[in-house]
Amino acid sequence: MTYRFTARAAGGDEQFDEDYRDAGVAEFEDGTGFVLIFMSGIEEADDQDVDLGQDTYCLVTADQGTAYGCVREVAVRDDTLRVVLDPAALRNLGLDDPVIEAVLDVPEADVKRMREVLRSIFSYGRADARPVLVDL
């Protein structure tokens, strides 16, 4: 099944001094409601990250549900962000549906920035956890 919502906030950020990137969407302009935040480090993962399986990007939901390397496919087409998740990650994320579509009701500049940062996030870490990028 597919969970579909309208995102009224989107963007991306890179904090080089704090070693992280994040990008995502939120249902409401203030960043609340249904939320998908994708995050990664900037520097190469260390041994502890590798040992913990955290040597890749993560996805965080509104209730702080978190899963690492769980995105199978991601696309931005026709003003819609489509994310396909590994069904095994749904419980950790607090989600019921493995396919999420966010209709992007945001300025084009915000979509552009989100796409730029998402490309960097999804190229971080181990190759076997990287999703298929479609029109990103």
Q: What is the pLDDT of residue 1?
A: 85
Q: What is the pLDDT of residue 79?
A: 95
Q: What is the pLDDT of residue 130?
A: 86
Residue bearing tokens 């900037």: 42
The model's pTM is 0.92
Positions in the chain whose pLDDT score sits under 50: none
Helix/strand/coil percent split, the chain, to 5: 25, 40, 35
Residue 122 and residue 101: Cα distance in Å, rounded? Answer: 18
Q: What is the pLDDT of residue 28?
A: 98
